Structure 1
């Protein structure tokens, strides 16, 4: 996996490094094509493509230079073949001049659009970080890492959430995904995070934490009106890693099953019984079931949102973390998450269409040594 990743990264970097040369290649190629073909076969397509390519890839100055270069090349070749003063030549030249001028306009429009988008993304990221503070990098022998990648398609604030904190009962974690985007999603994230942070310290069981978050989300949803009243539920996984022992406990509320990585093997911690997302328990009388799974020293727990497993490539194939991670060992949670993000980006060609939250916990040796 790492060899493929390195190879793709090298190819991509080479392409990005040489991409600014494309307008020059188009101009030179157009001039050579124009010079070596029949006088009535024109290289106009090359001359118009060069400034438009520069408009999309390069600065305003480079776009202007590409446009001037296209006009100069066209004038030189038209003069060489004696077509400069004729109607066909003038028509061709006017097309090149017009497209070159439009390229400058397109470049400016793209620049200001990008400025606005980057500003919106910075605001969204600031809000996201305020709502989702970074958990500690380590708690006793547990090393913790998180990553959040917003969808590349827009600058909307997403509804993915994560938390990890030390409690009297062990280290408790939460990863979830709120239905919807924007400020309504952020409200639900804020409610879930606030209640979880308090309940994790007070409730003796994961089921008790889930019940408190459930009630808070239902109250929040009932305050809304219109179509958004039906949103605000959260798919989530709650985790408890006791201070002693080599196991962990899980409550899964309609969320993608966590993965356990150990000695090159990957195990999917599927829930023993399906459950509805948080905020929808009123539709089902079933109580939460807590599953216990082994978590020995050297193992890593990976929690993620569906942005990971629903990431598609151009052929429509979903990214499969189990297949990609099997047979590989990682020094720690940071290396695992960095590799995952790189792999998903390459798998999708950079077209991330859903927010992606990742939380990984690696157990070292010894006891957690938490509060008593």
Structure 2
């Protein structure tokens, strides 16, 4: 399943947020007690009892209808009790205000609960759509470990324009990662068309260039079927990586996507393409000349594929996230641990906010005796 819940420190942070929210839910009751205490303890000229309607008003934002009504009734009882001690406190007016505010708060609570229920069902549908679009990748294929990370910039949408896939084919392990221009729901349709096509073409096409041609056709047909104002700019960047059946090298076809990073013996190498290939849906404009590069994939090597949302994450000063330097500092980590740490550091770096959708795949070759040294990427 795409990464949703953060383990380790992030999970603890979310649990602390949940604890704070539970404590905040007691604030209407605490406010009532404080106002009542000061109303009994202070001179009547101060008349702090007039603040009692604020308690049920606050409860409407976080309590159900019945507890809100009960809190209002409690405030009314407190006001009536105060009236026995202070005859000129204006009990009638304050009591009428408590009743009016409580009824309005109860209605507001009812409307809020209805909207929360609708939002809950919408999120269920979004989660189901996410599982269809980004279904779980196999954690291990023929000894090769594969893990995924996905973070949507629009949290309400839960899904976006970044996509990935992994397939165990007769031609080797084939990986796809890409990014449709834009973010959120506007890019979901194009991403779905590309990834659905890959799931078929990865098993049928003997060469990765054949896969790219089919992806190009798929996104062109989608754009033609759903035209819009952004039609000339609706394109996707993508990388197709093919790990050979011998697990000793890989072939990369980069269609305008950020270059992957390869870790070998603690050395981080940027696998930039020797010649850029056109992004998907732009071949008709700039040509369909695709170049496939080769790179080593020795035992113990780790490959990190990612979308530009990772490298374009900014801190408060506007600096981009230094992914290459960050990866050099991580040391030997398993793919799941690496992505968990990337998840946490990205959120901390951006102050808890994401400017774009983020997707990443971490792939690790199994350890073996007699590792191969790194070689420079070469063109097929």
TM-score in terms of structure 1 length:
0.77
Q: Secondary structure at the match of 1:364?
A: coil
Q: Aligned match of 1:301 in 295, 300, 303?
A: 303
Per-residue CA deviations over 1:73-119 (Å, capped at 9, x if unaligned) read 444446544444x3xx5444433333322222222212111111221
Cα displacement string for residues 167-222 of structure 1 (whole angstroms, at most 9, x for unaligned residues): 33321111122345788745433432233234333445434422331133223323
Aligned position for 2:68: 63
Q: Measure, in 2, the Cα distance between the counterparts of 1:234 and 1:324.
A: 26
Match of 1:167 in 2: 169
8 Å CA contact 2:255–2:279 kept in 1: the answer is yes
Listed one character per residue, the Cα deviations across residues 205-258 of structure 1 (whole Å, up to 9, x for unaligned) are 434422331133223323333425346422222212223354433333333443
User: How well do the aligned residues superpose, as a CA RMSD in angstroms?
Assistant: 3.9
Partners of 1:249 and 1:206 lie apart in 2 by 8
Q: What do residues 37-82 of structure 1 show as CA deviations (whole Å, max 9, x unaligned)?
A: 4534354686344334433333333333333333344444465444
Equivalent position SS for 2:280:
coil
Answer yes or no: is 1:28 the counterpart of 2:30. no
Point out where structure 2 has 5 or more consecutive residues left out of the alignment: 1-6, 370-380
1:284 alignment counterpart: 286
Q: What is the rounded CA distance, in whole Å, between the counterparts of 1:152 and 1:79 in structure 2? A: 55
CA positional deviation for 1:122: 1.6
**What is the alpha-carbon distance in structure 2 between the residues aligned to residue 326 and residue 208 of structure 1?**
35
Q: In the alignment, what sits opposite 1:176?
A: 178
SS state of the match for residue 61, structure 2?
Answer: helix
Deviations 1:237-291 (A, max 9, x none): 2212223354433333333443445677765544455555311122324733444
Aligned residues: 363
Measured after TM superposition, the shift of residue 139 of structure 1 is 0.9
Rounded to whole Å, the distance in 1 between the matches of 2:11 and 2:126 is: 31
1:370 corresponds in structure 2 to none
> What residue is the counterpart of 2:118 in the other structure?
116
Closer/same/farther in 2, CA of residues 47 and 182 from structure 1, 3 Å limit: same
1:27 Cα deviation from its structure 2 partner = 2.0
Residue 335 (structure 1) aligned with residue 337 (structure 2): yes
2:156 alignment partner, SS class: coil
1:251 is aligned to 253
Alpha carbons of 1:345 and 1:76: their partners in 2 closer, same or farther (altered >3 Å)? farther
TM-score of the superposed pair, with normalisation by structure 2: 0.76
